Structure 1
Amino acid sequence: MHINKTTIKVRYVETDKMGIVHHSNYYAWFELGRGEFITESGITYRDIEEKGVMLPVLESSCKYIMGAKYEDEVIIETWIEEMNGAKIIFNYNVVRKEDKKLLAKGSTTHAFVGENFKIINIKKKKPEMWEKLQKLYTDKYYSI
């Protein structure tokens, strides 16, 4: 399985009064990691939408383990946990770069839907898109 590693530096605006990253920002980081992951398949989110496919979030979760702070460099690790023709589940780890501490872990579940927001089987409707994502899901060259 392929794992994308996206590095960011925590901005002041992302912290709360306690000086710790506000919990809502982790979902924005998951989205950033997911977008970078998809780009590595050779397509972008924009490409996917322009081809009439959208990926609405059906479910999301985040377990907060340790708080990130202003100016920490964090790595968002993103990979596909599960994928079939109708849905895709991404998993995420947020790791502080300096000491490799796991700060949070989460997941998002998405449906493949058409422009009418009805679930589609991407494997049948958009086989070229399926192939690109499938390669990252099953590629044994990469490992955790």
Structure 2
Amino acid sequence: MQRYRHEVKYYETDRMGITHHSNYIRWMEEARTEFLKNIGWSYAKFEEAGIISPVIETNCKYKRPTTFDDIVEIETYVINISAVKLEIGYEMYCNDELVAKGISKHCFTNRDGKILNLKKEYPKFVDQLTKYMK
């Protein structure tokens, strides 16, 4: 598991001063991008290799609100990796309290949209991700 830190910006809050729910999905993307970069598989590396990674599903359960200036720490980990799909989990904490929990699911394609078999074509990537399964 890795942790990504995000400070809640004023523009991310609504009129009630609460972080708007849509931002948690954006933070999941930020945390995922950082996680992949830290394990040596940045999106830049994917794109250079002609790999596209579309999101095929997201889900977020909100436990308690956050507000402007809060520091949200996001634990990122692999839930499941198969030949064609990756599921990543996110646990978001503020002051060591769980504020949200989410998932994102991804497939991997080439530039023409053909699904890639990760285990066959990128076994080192699959092996690396397996180390971060929870």
Aligned to 1:111: 107
- Mapped pair 1:71 → 2:76: no
Residue of structure 2 equivalent to 1:20: 18
Q: Is the 8 A contact 1:9 1:71 kept in 2?
A: yes
Identity within the alignment, % = 37
Letter in 2 for 1:84: S
The amino acid that maps onto 2:112 is N
Question: Matches of 2:66 and 2:131 in 1, distance apart?
Answer: 32
1:88 match? 86
Give the superposition deviation at 1:132.
Answer: 2.9
Partner Cα separation in structure 2 for residue 78 and residue 52 of structure 1: 25
Letter of the structure 2 residue corresponding to residue 65 of structure 1:
K
Aligned residue type for 1:124 = K
Distance 1:34 1:77 in 2: 10
Higher deviation after alignment, 38-47 or 67-76: 38-47
SS of corresponding position for 2:46: helix
Unaligned stretches of 5+ residues in structure 1: 138-142
Tell me the distance in 2 between the aligned counterparts of 1:52 and 1:123: 17
Report the secondary structure of 1:136's partner residue: coil
Aligned partners of 2:63 and 2:131: how far apart in 1? 31
Q: What residue ranges of structure 2 are gaps of 5+ in the alignment?
A: none
Tell me by how many angstroms 1:42 deviates: 1.5
Q: SS of the counterpart of 2:41?
A: coil
Q: What residue is the counterpart of 1:140 in the other structure?
A: none
Worse-matched range after superposition: 113-122 or 5-14: 113-122
Structure 2 length-normalised TM: 0.93
* 2:116 aligned with 1:120: yes
